[in-house]
Structure 1
């Protein structure tokens, strides 16, 4: 049965819990899947020789941007990494979800981060695609796309 928000607000317990849509401890949410994908991507990049500089860098204010991982390559290049996770490759998979608006926000956040340097180091934008399902039977693949897009 479907309930409107007004009907749910009248229910005892006040809201979404009346129909069992509240997140329970241990429940898999898109936030938890995303966090797990970022940790998997970070571990993959560290094994490849990069070092973590910062995770989840956000610009202040509304409408800004975010960089999932900022890494440093062995040659000193600062690598801004976007991590995309999808459980299925339908609709183009994880890579298809990085549109022009998303790239613009990542570039905006990277430029904001680089303002702290008097002379910015060499930089590039990488993407790590994590596809598949976690769990005992799930197979997850990690694909690292170096220099996936430019700031131009």
Structure 2
């Protein structure tokens, strides 16, 4: 099956995320920097697939901003963290970034970022503390908690990926 056929079937909803377009086709380059194009045609059908898809899109987006992946889907008895990334700072040190990824197909009930409530933030913070205890090399590094909210492109052309650095503090 060629790319045009896959794209047509994905637009009609005939195929699931496993058979839809590779993520590499969703990114293009502008001024030698990758940017994301409209992903609404490639949103997976199943709920579990949708979450994994959103995490992959968020990870690729943050990689394009210079972050490197340390862990994915870290879970412990305190909670779960979708992405753990490292970002080099100007002074040569590294900042550890704990990322919560949220996907909303319908903005009627608020954005993905608005759905991260106090309880969810506390679980992320506790899981982050556990991760840092398990990784002594990262204990003294500065940390921050980011949220990436993903939604299908709207008619007005707004971006569908919204990255909120330092969305909340521990």
TM-score by length of 2: 0.65
CA distance in structure 1 between the partners assigned to 2:142 and 2:159 by the alignment: 31
Comparing 114-123 and 64-73, the one that deviates more: 114-123
Aligned residues: 119
CA distance in structure 1 between the partners assigned to 2:58 and 2:159 by the alignment: 11
Runs ≥4 residues deviating over 2 A: none
Aligned counterpart, 1:129: 149
* Correspondences of 1:1-150 after superposition (within 5 Å): 26=16, 28-59=45-76, 61=77, 64-75=78-89, 76-115=94-133, 116-117=135-136, 119-132=139-152, 141-150=160-169
- TM-superposed CA distance for 1:52, in Å, is 0.4
TM-score by length of 1: 0.73
Provide structure 2 residue ranges, at least 5 long, that are not aligned to the other structure. 1-14, 17-43
- TM-superposed CA distance for 1:93, in Å, is 1.8
SS in 2 for 1:32: helix
Once the two structures are superposed, residues 69-103 of structure 1 have per-residue CA deviations (whole angstroms, 9 ceiling, x without a partner) of: 00001220000000000002111121221001110
Once the two structures are superposed, residues 9-66 of structure 1 have per-residue CA deviations (whole angstroms, 9 ceiling, x without a partner) of: xxxxxxxxxxxxxxxx94821111111000000000000000000000001x4xx211
Taking a change above 3 Å as real, the CA distance of residues 83 and 143 of structure 1, as seen in their structure-2 partners, is same
SS in 2 for 1:106: helix
- TM-superposed CA distance for 1:140, in Å, is 7.0
CA distance in structure 1 between the partners assigned to 2:152 and 2:58 by the alignment: 13
